[in-house]
């Protein structure tokens, strides 16, 4: 079995020539040492391997602790999903074993390298993270630079809608001067992330840029500075920052690509993208258009979990914009869509976070919504919108001190996000519930400047917080604009406008709006 190049087990294919693990044609991200450990276990399937043998095989001539094996084993089992413990078994006091492995032969299958022919693009957005340049002037820093890249690959791999090329394939381009268009053809990816790392003393600077391989043009570029104390924690933090920062730019690029397609050629994912694009406009007509596109995506692919979640989110946006005309129907349809998203998307962070937020915000199922958001964050801790929605639900539950760090983390992950004004409005709401009305008003004014005044929730929290902070002229001016855009608004019909769960928070909010000039 040692001479074979590929192995199959439980639907996974371990390709030793390409250095990658795949399932259903999709790369599964693994750190280099974790991949090597799994490869050794698979090559010696059916035999219990002790720790000493594994250390000798994977860490030759290096002294490592038992924690190194334990961490790699944790990575492997996480990559293999719910069946990880069964596929890689622990034999007490003896070691580890992998069973039921089938040796495969791929003698006629070409390797992916610079001389290979073009690979086909997958049916969803695809990205390769290239080895970053070591600008430190010290070869000894290469391990730190490579570690940053591995962490970024792992972070991006947690995004369900993104096809991420495994590290072992992208690192074949290390120290090679290859055009990104060529890399796109060879790896079959639409985007490439490249960058550099400069480390001096206790400071580190990471520069990165996202490139469209079809045109060679830059979509996004930024840099990240920090210190290197607790170096491995810092690697993970930087990776999370990069993954969070580029995600909205990838979404924008995909939306633009979808908009250029003729209607006759649209498929479910393209309708989904068009729907998301309309959601981001935060307008009544755009919201209706978003729902239409998302329902079309569901019609074409009835098991497309994120489409159900985003459709449910449209109803939450409808409530926040003050566009609801038939509340009972909205609640019923939101519940149906969100429950279906959760049912189909048990391991999809986008489906879970949008469904969870909609259930809490529209259907008043706050505890369930909170639980689904926690699950989404466990699946993808770099999903900024999940942190935003989680913060919003914590505010609804009357837990502002739990909400604020979540909202700040969302802003840090995606500082140029479509949803920044929503994050600011949620921060205003958190401080409002905490009784800090001056802070609430400051955040609310930031949100108002980033969003049209006619947005009901944003304007209402600005008016209420301003009134309670003693800024009466300012709050009355905001209320005047709000009543011009929503003339039917009264204290008596506020139900469904805001999702505070505690009666005292609703009462305080009503008092603030009354002080700002909203009639009974």
Parallel/antiparallel/unpaired status of strands 203-212 and 12-15: unpaired
In a domain, 110, yes or no: no
**Residue 223 shares a structural domain with residue 130:** yes
Average pLDDT, the chain: 82
Q: Does residue 364 form part of some domain?
A: yes
Give me the pLDDT at residue 432, please: 95
Q: Which residue has the tokens 């002080």?
A: 515
Same domain, 366 and 279: yes
Whether residue 109 is contained in a domain is answered as no
The domain boundary residue, chosen from 204, 227, 256: 256
For residue 118, being part of any structural domain is answered with no
One domain, residues 397 and 517: yes
Residues 241 and 267 placed together within one structural domain of the fold? no
* 397 and 472 assigned to the same domain: yes
For residues 400 and 476, state if they share a domain.
Answer: yes
pLDDT score at 229: 63
3-state secondary structure 224-267: EEEECCCHHHHHHHHHHHHHHHHHHHHHHHHHHHHHCCCHHHCC
Say yes or no: 130 and 244 in one domain.
Answer: yes
Instruction: Tell which of 201, 227, 256 closes a domain.
Output: 256
- Are residues 275 and 243 part of one domain? no
Give CA 391 to chain center in angstroms: 15
Query: What's the whole-model pTM score?
Result: 0.62
173 & 227 share domain: yes
Q: What is the DSSP string of 455-488?
A: -HHHHHHHHHHHHHTT-HHHHHHHHHHHHHH-TT
Residue at 121 is within a domain: no
Please give the average pLDDT of every successive group of 10 residues along the chain, which has 520 residues. 62 74 75 82 85 80 69 86 86 86 53 39 74 80 79 77 75 81 82 86 82 85 73 66 75 70 64 86 91 92 90 92 87 96 87 95 93 89 89 95 93 77 92 95 88 68 93 91 84 74 90 92
Does residue 116 sit within a domain?
no
Q: What is the pLDDT of residue 467?
A: 95
Same domain, 68 and 134: no
| Of the residues 200, 231, 256, the one at which a domain ends | 256
Residue 417 tokens, joined: 């996000």
Helix (H) or strand (E) holding 153: helix 142-157
Q: Which domain holds residue 52?
A: 6-104
Q: What is the model's pLDDT at position 449?
A: 82
91, 450, 456 from 484: Cα distances, Å? 71, 19, 11
> Is 112 within the bounds of a domain?
no
Q: Report the domain count for the chain.
A: 4
pLDDT reported for residue 260: 64
The CATH number of whichever domain residue 232 belongs to comes to 3.40.50.10610
The CATH number given to whatever domain includes residue 346 is 1.25.40.10
On whether both 461 and 401 belong to a single domain, the answer is yes
- Asked, for residue 117, whether it belongs to a domain, the answer is no
The answer on 301 and 374 residing in a single domain is: yes
Contact between residue 105 and residue 167 where contact means Cβ atoms under 8 Å apart:
no
pLDDT digits (tens, 9 = 90+) for 89-137: 998 888 899 887 876 654 433 333 333 344 445 556 788 899 998 887 7
pLDDT digits (tens, 9 = 90+) for 482-504: 888 888 888 887 766 677 888 89
- Given a contact cutoff of 8 angstroms between Cβ atoms, the answer to whether 9 and 98 are in contact is yes
Cβ contact 239:246 at 8 Å = no
């Amino acid at each position: 079995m040692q001479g074979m190049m590929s192995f199959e087990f439980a639907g996974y294919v371990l390709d030793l020539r390409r250095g990658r693990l795949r399932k259903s044609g999709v790369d599964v991200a693994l750190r280099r040492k974790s991949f090597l450990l799994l490869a050794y276990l698979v090559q010696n399937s059916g035999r219990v391997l002790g720790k000493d043998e594994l250390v000798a095989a994977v860490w030759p001539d290096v002294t490592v602790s038992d924690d190194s094996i334990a961490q790699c084993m944790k990575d492997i089992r996480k990559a293999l999903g719910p069946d990880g413990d069964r596929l890689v078994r622990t034999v007490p006091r003896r070691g580890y074993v992998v069973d039921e492995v089938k040796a495969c032969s791929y003698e006629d299958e070409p390797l992916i390298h610079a001389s290979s022919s073009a690979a086909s693009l997958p049916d969803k957005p695809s990205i390769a993270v290239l080895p970053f340049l070591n600008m430190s002037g010290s070869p000894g820093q290469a391990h730190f630079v490579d570690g940053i890249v591995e962490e970024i690959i792992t972070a991006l791999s947690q995004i369900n809608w993104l096809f991420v090329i495994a590290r072992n394939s992208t690192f074949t381009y290390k120290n090679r001067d290859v055009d990104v268009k060529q890399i796109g053809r060879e790896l079959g990816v639409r985007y490439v992330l490249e960058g550099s790392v400069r480390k001096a003393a206790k400071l580190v600077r990471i520069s990165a840029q996202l490139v469209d391989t079809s045109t060679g043009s830059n979509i996004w570029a930024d840099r990240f500075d920090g210190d290197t104390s607790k170096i491995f924690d810092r690697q993970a933090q930087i990776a999370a920052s990069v993954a969070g920062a580029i995600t909205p730019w990838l979404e924008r690029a995909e939306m633009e690509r979808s908009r250029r397609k003729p209607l006759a050629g649209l498929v479910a994912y393209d309708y989904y993208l068009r729907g998301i694009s309309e959601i981001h406009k935060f307008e009544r007509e755009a919201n209706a258009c978003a729902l239409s596109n998302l329902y079309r995506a569901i019609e074409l692919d009835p098991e497309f979990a994120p489409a159900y979640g985003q459709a449910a989110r449209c109803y939450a946006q409808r409530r926040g914009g003050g566009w609801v005309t038939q509340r009972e129907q909205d609640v019923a349809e939101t519940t149906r869509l969100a429950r279906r998203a959760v049912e189909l998307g048990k391991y999809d962070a986008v489906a879970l976070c949008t469904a969870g937020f909609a259930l809490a915000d529209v259907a008043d199922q706050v505890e369930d919504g909170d639980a689904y958001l926690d699950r989404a964050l466990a699946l993808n801790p770099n999903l900024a919108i999940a942190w935003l929605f989680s913060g919003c639900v914590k505010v609804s539950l009357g837990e502002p001190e739990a909400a604020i760090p979540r909202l700040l983390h969302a802003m840090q992950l995606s500082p140029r996000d479509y949803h920044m004004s929503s994050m600011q409005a949620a921060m205003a709401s958190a401080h409002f519930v905490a009784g800090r009305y001056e802070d609430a008003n400051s955040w609310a004014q930031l949100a108002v400047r980033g969003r049209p005044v006619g947005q009901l929730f944003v304007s209402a929290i600005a008016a209420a917080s301003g009134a309670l902070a003693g800024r009466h002229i300012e709050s009355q001016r905001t209320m005047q604009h709000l009543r011009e855009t929503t003339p039917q608004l009264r204290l008596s019909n506020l139900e469904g406008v805001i999702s505070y769960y505690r009666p005292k928070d609703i009462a305080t909010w009503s008092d603030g709006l009354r002080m700002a000039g909203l009639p009974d």
